[in-house]
Chain A
Amino acid sequence: MTVHGGVGQSIKRKEDARFVRGKGNYVDDVKLPGMLYLDIVRSPYAHARIRSINIEKALKVPGVLAVIRGKDLEAANLAWMPTLMSDKQMVLPVERVMYQSQEVAAVVADSRYAAADGVAAVEVDYEPLPVVVDPMKALEPGAPILRPDRKEQTNRIWHWEVGDREGTDKALKESDVVVKENLYIPRIHVSSIETCGCVASFDAMGKLTVWMTTQAPHAIRTVFALVAGLPEQKIRIISPDIGGGFGGKVPVYPGYVLAVVAALKTGHPVKWIEDRSENIQADSFARDYHISAEIGATRDGKLTALRVKTIADHGYTDAAANPSKFPAGLFHIVTGSYPFEKAHVEVDGVYTNKPPGGIAYRCSFRVTEAAFTIERIVDSLARKLGMDPAEFRMKNFIPPEAFPFKSALGWEYDSGNYQGALRKAMDIVDYDALRKEQAEKRKRGELMGIGISSFTEIVGAGPSHTFDILGLKMFDSCEIRIHPTGKAIARFGTKSQGQGHETTYAQILAEELGISSEDIAIEEGDTDTAPYGLGTYASRSTPTAGAAASIAARKIRDKAQKIAAHLLEVSPDDLEWKDHKFQVKGVPDKAKTMAEIAFAAYTNHPPGMEAGLEAVDYYDPPNLTYPFGSYICVVDIDKETGEVKIRRFVAVDDCGTIINPMIVEGQIHGGLTMGLAPALLEEIHYDENGNMLGGSFMDYLLPTAVETPKWETAKTTTPSPHHPIGAKGVGESATVGAPAAIVNAVVDALAHLGVTHIDIPITPWKVWKILHEKRAA
């Protein structure tokens, strides 16, 4: 018997029923009696001493109840808080502001409108200080030291390296061909359509409940307990419906802490919801990597070595959301789909007068930076050798028989079939015909480009021997309880922000337990009820919590087998789990379904056995997973204006076992669009005074339905050998792989003019400038 809603079925999503009715429960929908509102005064300066903060006028604004300043927090030892990378971050400044739009004071009022009026009435006197925005200049001797609180008086936060430095230097020296590219990946911002916010409320017993836009409720609870000194059993974090996360809702923002302080101070619930401009200007930047990459090959096109140096601009404090041992995240996946024998990577983190961070923008931890680097430079090298970029990749890919593959930088890739994915993409797009077309167009002076990106990404953090965030190991969890009538409820330590967990987790459990997915309720996000987990980001849910679901379900099956044996009056060894039920081996009609077994667990369980039918698993993944894919992008360029139009984009993805094909495809579509965005549209820059250029949706341009092409998707399936159901995770693959495909296509269109690289975003004027100069020359 097949089970309804098992793995591999494109069932419709359960969560849609409330969303299409407008009955989602997002943080800003939470309304409590007596609730107050918090709004934040922000610095117009990127670096300044605070001479005074005058709140007299603000306190007179009708509706304003209180104004919180740094010195108020200092008294409670809350002016500073730790970041996820064990650096420290201001909640409110006492002496100095360190970036434009930094939180300076908080106004609490009885309405949203009064709070805004209060903010406008706070008077701050600043003394501007010299600003550091260029991380290279920040490292020069004589640069202003931005963090005098640090032991070492330098703007270098850390230096990190991995690989064989001498071996790589030697291998490059001895290579027949070496190509070097400098790649700057500018700041961008996740900008999920819902901004960040919370509602903080203390009850009469002193228990704190915070509804919060967070992707990691348990970790937040523990951090609050440690930092604020509140007993952890008296803190409840509720992550309700979240309007998109993409990494931007992992950090602890000052606004959350301020709302909690305000709730404590006033004795009322306090809501803080930031505006979009605040969200872009102060929260969760991503990227800002200055990369220099060198790659070597033999004359006949075999890769030899890879050397990468990076300057990482972190803003005024390292508030990145990386596993603690990896300040540059998993950037050293930069060897990509290729078996380099020698490789070396070094990264230096730098302080500047910009908002803090370095969080993922839908890309695991720095994996887009890595995939972009390798796929760009491989392309450059292929071109230098006069080889077709597809042919070059095929020649050099890690072959399928080499898995599990140990990379030169220490990762063990679980499984892969890179040739298969690229071959499939080439067939779908008819690669040879495109090259012919390009050659003909080039004769006529028309610009057309074909770009390939064959990425390998690394997700599912992570095994306890290597991974932790602030010491918390990165396992994840599933707790299942089956009711007497054969329905079930399962709770997880992860937290969906649109990925469809209510549907997909139920599918895993349906498959494992033989219960219809319709009959399995899935809950996440309430720390009072959900088992401990590290949350959802970096595509980790399926690899960790999805695995926990399978394992917990199998624990239930172990007990169920014994109950079934009791009901059928046979020995448990006489039974096998077949067709989603327990059957006597060789006698298929002597069987018991999970529903029958569940009822018996409460009414007729074997003597000496505990009643009930439940299990919990905390899954420590033995390894990460390595989804991969090949993307091919076809572009046409308007010679006169430099505009780039994506004519076609084919994405072949391999995420191992697919739980729900419809949902996986949706993740790819969304991920590709967040790959197109930084490639062509999105960037955040600062002028020399630290003013952010483009800090609202008026200037920070997200792709609309008009720019976004009709993505074409396909798949290959190479299961993960170490995951209980062979699944790898897929939420971010497309954002990792797409930018390089698009840039490679544009460079390909202009390669005959000698172009080897264009920094993203590729705006029409960048292309125009190249064409203009080449024509003039």
Chain B
Amino acid sequence: MIPPRFEYFAPSSIDEAVQILDRFGGEAKVLAGGQSLLPVMKLRLAEPRALVDINRIPDLAYIREDAKSLRIGATTRTNDLNDSELIHARYPILSDAAYEIADPLVRNMGTVGGNVSHGDPANDLPACMLALGAHFVVRSPTGTRTIPAKEFYQDTFVTALESNELLLEIQIPKARPGQGNAYVKLEKRIGDFPIVGVAANLVLTTKGTIESAGLALTAVGPTALKATEAERHLVGKAPEDAAFQRAAEFAQEITSPVSDLRGPAEYKRAMVRVLALRALHRASARAHGGA
């Protein structure tokens, strides 16, 4: 219940923050919402030498659209996704997911950046990032770079983020006409980690066939998984059950779920199919202007 001691910094600029991270060479952790970090520190499963509290850095929390992208600042609170009419109207996959992350109290503190970059295969937003084709803007002492989500998740708790880098912004391709997306989560009890989660994003041509597809999975592998084969299969097809069934089967094939307190592997694999179908149908309905 009691965390170990650490050195504490509350920088007021991004540059200061990354310099401190650099100085500690991997032994400092970023404190944003703290809803993943502080619990593991309280159990003494993690004992970082230093915490870099980024909550005092201005202009890191925003949700805005420009000509090309939806841009979400890293310290945007998870509940802000729920509260945003823009997100509900044009990127409902994110409010679907946000609505199911932990509980409302945790969501008031937990950040989008934290959920996206923690590297926990049970976090819900990474699959959404993969399905949407997101990019992450990160800063280090030497400059800024952009990492595509599909290159970001390397292994359980291992991401492409270097220990001296700070996630600044999430960029998602701007919503287009004919686009619909959804996130579906199966859990043992509300607020729990997912048994399985599926994120689906469809963009339809004016003729109504699938122009591009994003399909990604939560909690059935060492990281969130992008179902590339399934996505390829969907392109050019009619957004109907036949194509979705096949895509769901492709998605199942890439999974390596573990049997644990949230179900046997066999069940999780079967649920990938069930949820993929539900997510694709809902994304398609939204692409057609439904809810």
Output the nearest chain A residue to B188 by Cβ-Cβ distance.
A701
Q: In A392-443, which residues have CB < 8 Å from any B CB?
A: none
Is A707 on the interface with B (CB-CB < 8 A)?
yes
- B interface size (C-beta, 8 A): 20
Output the nearest chain A residue to B47 by Cβ-Cβ distance.
A120
Whether the Cβ atoms of A704 and B189 lie closer than 8 Å is yes
Output the nearest chain A residue to B39 by Cβ-Cβ distance.
A698
Output the nearest chain B residue to A114 by Cβ-Cβ distance.
B2
Docked CA distance A643–B270 (Å): 14
Is A772 on the interface with B (CB-CB < 8 A)?
yes
Is B177 on the interface with A (CB-CB < 8 A)?
no
Whether the Cβ atoms of A707 and B261 lie closer than 8 Å is no
Docked CA distance A694–B271 (Å): 23
Q: In B1-55, which residues have CB < 8 Å from any A CB?
A: 1-2, 4, 43-44
List B contacts of A694 (CB < 8 A).
261
Docked CA distance A707–B188 (Å): 10
Whether the Cβ atoms of A116 and B190 lie closer than 8 Å is no
Whether the Cβ atoms of A113 and B190 lie closer than 8 Å is no
Whether the Cβ atoms of B263 and A681 lie closer than 8 Å is no
Whether the Cβ atoms of B263 and A112 lie closer than 8 Å is no
Docked CA distance A763–B261 (Å): 10
Whether the Cβ atoms of A275 and B263 lie closer than 8 Å is no
Output the nearest chain B residue to A113 by Cβ-Cβ distance.
B2
Is A764 on the interface with B (CB-CB < 8 A)?
yes
List A contacts of B271 (CB < 8 A).
641
| Min distance, Cβ B35 to any Cβ of chain A, angstroms | 12
List A contacts of B157 (CB < 8 A).
none
Q: By DSSP majority rule, is chain B's interface helix, strand, loop, or mixed?
A: loop
B190 interface neighbour in A704, A768, A769, Cβ under 8 Å: A704
Whether the Cβ atoms of B191 and A117 lie closer than 8 Å is no
Docked CA distance A566–B188 (Å): 70
Whether the Cβ atoms of B1 and A116 lie closer than 8 Å is yes
Output the nearest chain A residue to B263 by Cβ-Cβ distance.
A765
Q: In A691-717, which residues have CB < 8 Å from any B CB?
A: 693-694, 699, 701, 703-704, 706-707
| Min distance, Cβ A554 to any Cβ of chain B, angstroms | 50
Whether the Cβ atoms of B270 and A701 lie closer than 8 Å is no
Is A152 on the interface with B (CB-CB < 8 A)?
no
List A contacts of B263 (CB < 8 A).
763-765
| Min distance, Cβ A190 to any Cβ of chain B, angstroms | 18
Whether the Cβ atoms of A772 and B270 lie closer than 8 Å is yes
Output the nearest chain B residue to A681 by Cβ-Cβ distance.
B189
Interface code B137-172, partner A: CB below 8 Å = 1, 0 otherwise? Answer: 000000000000000000000000000000000000
Whether the Cβ atoms of B188 and A764 lie closer than 8 Å is yes
Is B192 on the interface with A (CB-CB < 8 A)?
yes
Is B285 on the interface with A (CB-CB < 8 A)?
no
Q: A681-B188, A707-B189, A764-B188 are in contact. Are A641 and B2 (CB under 8 A)?
A: no
Docked CA distance A640–B274 (Å): 7
| Min distance, Cβ B258 to any Cβ of chain A, angstroms | 13
Interface code A634-662, partner B: CB below 8 Å = 1, 0 otherwise? Answer: 00000011110000000000000000000
Is B264 on the interface with A (CB-CB < 8 A)?
yes
Q: In A495-538, which residues have CB < 8 Å from any B CB?
A: none
Interface code A660-703, partner B: CB below 8 Å = 1, 0 otherwise? Answer: 00000000000000000000010000000000011000010101
B4 interface neighbour in A120, A640, A681, A693, Cβ under 8 Å: A120
Whether the Cβ atoms of A120 and B264 lie closer than 8 Å is no
Q: A641-B271, A694-B261, A764-B263 are in contact. Are A707 and B2 (CB under 8 A)?
A: no
| Min distance, Cβ A109 to any Cβ of chain B, angstroms | 11
Whether the Cβ atoms of A641 and B188 lie closer than 8 Å is no
Q: In B270-284, which residues have CB < 8 Å from any A CB?
A: 270-271, 274
List B contacts of A764 (CB < 8 A).
186, 188, 195, 263, 267
Output the nearest chain A residue to B275 by Cβ-Cβ distance.
A641
List B contacts of A765 (CB < 8 A).
263-264, 267
Q: In A721-777, which residues have CB < 8 Å from any B CB?
A: 763-765, 768-769, 772
B274 interface neighbour in A275, A277, A641, A701, Cβ under 8 Å: A641
Q: In B178-221, which residues have CB < 8 Å from any A CB?
A: 186, 188-192, 195
List B contacts of A769 (CB < 8 A).
264, 267
Whether the Cβ atoms of B188 and A117 lie closer than 8 Å is no
Docked CA distance A703–B192 (Å): 11
Of listed A120, A641, A704, residue having the most chain B CB within 10 A:
A641
| Min distance, Cβ A85 to any Cβ of chain B, angstroms | 31
Interface code A177-196, partner B: CB below 8 Å = 1, 0 otherwise? Answer: 00000000000000000000
List B contacts of A277 (CB < 8 A).
43
Docked CA distance A113–B274 (Å): 48
Docked CA distance A764–B44 (Å): 33
Docked CA distance A772–B103 (Å): 32
| Min distance, Cβ B186 to any Cβ of chain A, angstroms | 6
Whether the Cβ atoms of B191 and A704 lie closer than 8 Å is yes
Docked CA distance A704–B264 (Å): 24
List B contacts of A699 (CB < 8 A).
261
Whether the Cβ atoms of A706 and B267 lie closer than 8 Å is no
List A contacts of B189 (CB < 8 A).
681, 701, 703-704, 707
Output the nearest chain A residue to B273 by Cβ-Cβ distance.
A640
| Min distance, Cβ A672 to any Cβ of chain B, angstroms | 17
Q: A112-B2, A116-B2 are in contact. Are A707 and B274 (CB under 8 A)?
A: no
Whether the Cβ atoms of B4 and A763 lie closer than 8 Å is no
Output the nearest chain B residue to A772 by Cβ-Cβ distance.
B270
Whether the Cβ atoms of A701 and B267 lie closer than 8 Å is no
Docked CA distance A275–B188 (Å): 24
Docked CA distance A764–B267 (Å): 9
Whether the Cβ atoms of B190 and A706 lie closer than 8 Å is yes
List A contacts of B261 (CB < 8 A).
693-694, 699
| Min distance, Cβ A101 to any Cβ of chain B, angstroms | 14
Output the nearest chain B residue to A706 by Cβ-Cβ distance.
B190
List B contacts of A706 (CB < 8 A).
190
List A contacts of B2 (CB < 8 A).
112-113, 116-117
| Min distance, Cβ A349 to any Cβ of chain B, angstroms | 28
| Min distance, Cβ A193 to any Cβ of chain B, angstroms | 15
| Min distance, Cβ B38 to any Cβ of chain A, angstroms | 13
Q: In A88-124, which residues have CB < 8 Å from any B CB?
A: 112-113, 116-117, 120
Q: In A592-647, which residues have CB < 8 Å from any B CB?
A: 640-643
Q: A116-B1, A768-B267, A772-B270 are in contact. Are A707 and B190 (CB under 8 A)?
A: yes
Output the nearest chain A residue to B186 by Cβ-Cβ distance.
A641
| Min distance, Cβ A704 to any Cβ of chain B, angstroms | 6
List B contacts of A642 (CB < 8 A).
267
List B contacts of A707 (CB < 8 A).
189-190
List A contacts of B270 (CB < 8 A).
768, 772
Whether the Cβ atoms of B188 and A120 lie closer than 8 Å is no
| Min distance, Cβ A120 to any Cβ of chain B, angstroms | 6
List B contacts of A641 (CB < 8 A).
186, 271, 274
| Min distance, Cβ B3 to any Cβ of chain A, angstroms | 9
Q: A641-B271, A641-B274 are in contact. Are A763 and B188 (CB under 8 A)?
A: yes
| Min distance, Cβ A680 to any Cβ of chain B, angstroms | 9
Q: List 12 A-B contacts (CB under 8 A).
A: A112-B2, A120-B4, A120-B44, A277-B43, A643-B186, A694-B261, A701-B188, A704-B191, A707-B190, A763-B188, A769-B264, A772-B270
Closest 7 CB pairs of A and B: A116-B2, A765-B267, A706-B190, A275-B1, A765-B263, A701-B189, A640-B274
